[in-house]
Amino acid sequence: MISEREIMMPVLKGEIGQSNFLAGVDRPDYDEMTRCTHCGMCLQFCPTYRVLGLEADSPRGRIYQMRAVAEGRALVDEDFAEHMYVCLACRACETACPAHLHYGSLVEAARGQIEARRSQPWGERLLRFLIFAQLFPYPARIRLLAGLMRLYQISGLRAFARFLPGRLARLEPMMPTLKGDFFPARDQVYPARGVKQYRVALFNGCIMPVAFGPSNAATVKVLTENGCEVVVPSAQTCCGAIDLHAGERDLGREVARRNIQAFERLNVDAVIINAAGCGVALKEYGDLLHEDPAFVARAQAFAAKVKDVNEFLANIGFRAPTAALPMRVTYQDPCHLVHGQNIRLQPRQLLQSIPGLELVEMAGADRCCGSAGIYNITQTDLSMEILDEKMEHVRRTGATAIVSANPGCMLQMQIGCRRAGIDAQVYHVVDLLAKAYNLEQSN
Ligand code: SF4
Ligand code: SF4
């Protein structure tokens, strides 16, 4: 355990020894780590530090540990791995940090180092191979799996879920209710309504089209309503965020190259994404491929075009709907939108433009909900503890709907409502905007 006093001690350059990070594998950027002044401004914004109260599970403590490994004073061992994986990678510390440290890329690289030297049991290795290399990069396989899950959900077998062995019984209630998928025909183009002003491409994602297919259709709707011709390239694949969060950096690079090839030929003004976690990964393709001479410039050009749908609509001066949607909603900031992309006002502007809709802010709306990719599966107890606090804030708003802009957060909010017994619907921002546009057209 690292003491508070040790954290506060400056690390002198003269102490630097042989780095314990592997050569040939991305390392956390040493210069970036040394920019941490140990000021501690990030601590109270860190969900894991708030719950666990341990310096080693704070941003400052984790950076200290990475630096100790880089300087040969500590090992990449199970203890190091635990603190790196207890982190939600929510990047709340980036927003709080006066030095604007890029913590997210540090922790992703640290996880890459952990995975590169970990000798996993073959069962775990096989599972990782199946999930990261054989499932997520293939939308058709995700669709097939989603179909099987849907069959299971409507078969009545869920009633027997409590008889599942061990951990499975605990995780089963967290299975999302799949809302119908969104897989347009090959390279489908949706024309703009009225005068075409932009040509954009939709990044369909991997979880969104199966878990929240109607939200992707709503994204197309709000874009076409606002003068966009929308193309959905069929050659696209998962953004790679799930690989990067799990330390599978080579797989992340592989899918990044596939996506760049799928989108660069389309000649679009913007690549639109409605999942905040994917948005960050896509916007960081330039960094991810910075050592690939064949792709670095293409990755930067692609990343420059990526826009979150909230960001894009606010930038182009979206049209406010005229039909009223009388409802009381609260908004949960996805970490990767508010901290990863500094997009805080735009989703609120979109919601507040809807006549009749009342937006009630919850306390700590920009605090992580505990979803964080697959964190609620890998760190279930901590994730649920963070979620339960969040749901108390939701309850106090009296809202009958929770709005967010990321599939992980939306699924976590659904779980939270079930756990807390809160009767609230969960929406993406674009669901409500599209609903209002549809209403005005049916009046
Ligand atoms: S990313 Fe989130 S959980 Fe991780 S250190 Fe930063 S604030 Fe804490
Ligand atoms: S706020 Fe930034 S500089 Fe200060 S301790 Fe946290 S990471 Fe380091």
Interval 308-361: pLDDT, tens: 999 999 999 999 999 999 999 999 999 999 999 999 999 999 999 999 999 999
Give dist(CA 336, CA 204) in Å, integer.
17
pTM of the model: 0.89
Q: Domains, the chain, ranges and CATH?
A: 4-117 (1.10.1060.10), 122-174 (no CATH), 188-314 (1.20.1050), 320-442 (3.40.50)
**Contact of 80 with 21, CB cutoff 8 Å:** no
Atom 6 (ligand 2) nearest CA: 42
User: What share of the chain has pLDDT > 70, as a percent?
Assistant: 96
CA distances from 247 to 3, 344, 404 (A): 27, 28, 26
Summarize pLDDT for 183-241 with one digit per residue, the tens. Answer: 887 889 999 999 999 999 999 998 889 989 999 999 999 999 999 999 999 999 999 99
| Closest ligand 2 atom to Cα of 35 | 3
pLDDT at position 8 is 44
Kindly report, residue by residue over 402-436, the tens digit of the pLDDT: 999 999 999 999 999 999 999 999 999 999 999 99
CA-nearest residue for atom 8, ligand 2, is 36
Q: Which residues line ligand 1 (CB under 6 A)?
A: 45-48, 59, 62, 87-93, 103
Q: What CA–CA distance (Å, rounded) separates 293 from 225?
A: 40
How far is residue 106's CA from residue 109's CA, in Å, rounded to a whole number? Answer: 5
Looking up tokens 């290399």 gives 133
pLDDT at 17: 53
Give me ligand 2 centre to Cα 90, in Å: 15
Q: What are 35's two structure tokens? A: 């920019």
Contacts of 50 (CB under 8 A, 6+ apart): 44
Q: State yes or no: pLDDT of 18 exceeds 80.
A: no
DSSP 52: H
pLDDT for 48: 95
Q: How do strand 188-190 and strand 228-232 relate by DSSP bridges? A: antiparallel
Q: How far is the CA of 95 from the centre of ligand 2 (A)?
A: 10
The phi, psi pair for 340, rounded to 5°, reads -80, -30
Asked if residue 42 has its Cβ within 6 Å of ligand 2, the reply is: yes
Does the pLDDT of residue 366 top 50, yes or no? Answer: yes
- What residue owns the CA closest to ligand 2's atom 1? 97
Average pLDDT (255-274) is: 96
State the average pLDDT over residues 133-162.
88
Mean pLDDT for the chain?
Answer: 91
